[in-house]
Amino acid sequence: MDLNLKNKVFIVTGGSKGIGEGITRAIHAEGGIVVIATRSEGAITEDILKELASTGPTCLAVYGDLQNIENCRSAVDRTVAEYGRIDGIVNNAGVNDGVGLEDGPEAFRKSIALNLFHYYDLVHFALPWLKKSKGAIVNVSSKVALTGQGGTSGYAAAKGAQLALTREWAAELLPFSIRVNAVLPAEVMTPLYRRWLDNTFADPDAKEREITAKIPLENRMTTKDEMAAMVAFLLSDRSSHTTGQFMSVDGGYLHLDRSLT
C-alpha cells in the first residue's frame, strides 16, 4: 500500500535510536523526508543520515536537548528553512527514569519535564505549518499510562498526560483537519531495553523468556518496525478519518486476558 508520504516532511524526536529510528526508517521507505530532533549528536545519527541519503530523500538532524524550549523552536525553524513545510510531528523522545514515590518532589518534577513538556512545545511551534498542510501528530506514549508499573511515578504521569493531550489536541484541531493519535508500546526490544536486561539481571535471557511468556500473540516482543509501521500509517492520509485514538501495538499484552498466557 502506498501511504502517499512521498516528499512530505516529518519531525521525529529521538529519531535515531530505538523506536524512533524505526519510525524514521519507515517514513523514509515511503519516500518521506525526516527531520530527526535529538540530543544524540555523533556517529549514530550521522551514519543513519548517510544511509538514508543513499536510498532516498536526504534527511536532516537538528541537535539539542528538547527540554530547552528554544531547541524545540529551532527544530521547527530549521525544518521550515530547509524544506518550507511540515506535514507531521512524531513526539517520541523520552526515557523511563525510574522516579518513584520515594524519590521526592524535585525528582518527580524533573521526570515530568524530561518526558512531557517538549511534546507540547514542539507542536506549539509547528502549529502554523501543520494548519497549512492539514498535517498529523502522533504521540508515542506507553502501556504504563494505563497499567502502572511501580516505582516510576514521573514516567507514568507523563505518559498519561500524553494520552490526555492526544484527545485534547484531536478536539482542538478538528477545524483544521489535523489528526492526532497515540501509540502505546508495551514490550519492545530496543538497544535501551537490551541494556536494561543485561545490566539488571543475573540471567537476562531467563528474564526475557519470563517477559515474553506473558505476551499473548506468539510469546515474543514487539519489534520497533512493527511500532513504526503503525506510526507511518497514522501519519498518512490512508488513516484520514482516524483521530483521538490510542493504538496498542503489543501482541495483545494490554487488552487480552492473562489466562491466555
Q: Which residues are catalytic?
A: 155
DSSP letter for 95, please. -
The one-letter amino acid code at 219 reads N
Q: Which residues contact 260 (CB under 8 A, 6 or more apart)?
A: 216, 252
Give CA–CA dist 105/177, Å, rounded.
39
Give CA–CA dist 98/128, Å, rounded.
36
Q: Is 20 exposed, middle or buried (0-12, 13-18, 19+ CB in 10 A)?
A: buried
Per the rule left: phi > 0, alpha: psi between -120 and 50, beta: everything else, 95 is beta
**Cell of residue 49, nine digits:** 543520515
Neighbours of 113 (CB within 10 A): 13
Q: Which residues contact 12 (CB under 8 A, 6 or more apart)?
A: 20, 23, 24, 27, 34, 35, 36, 37, 90, 92
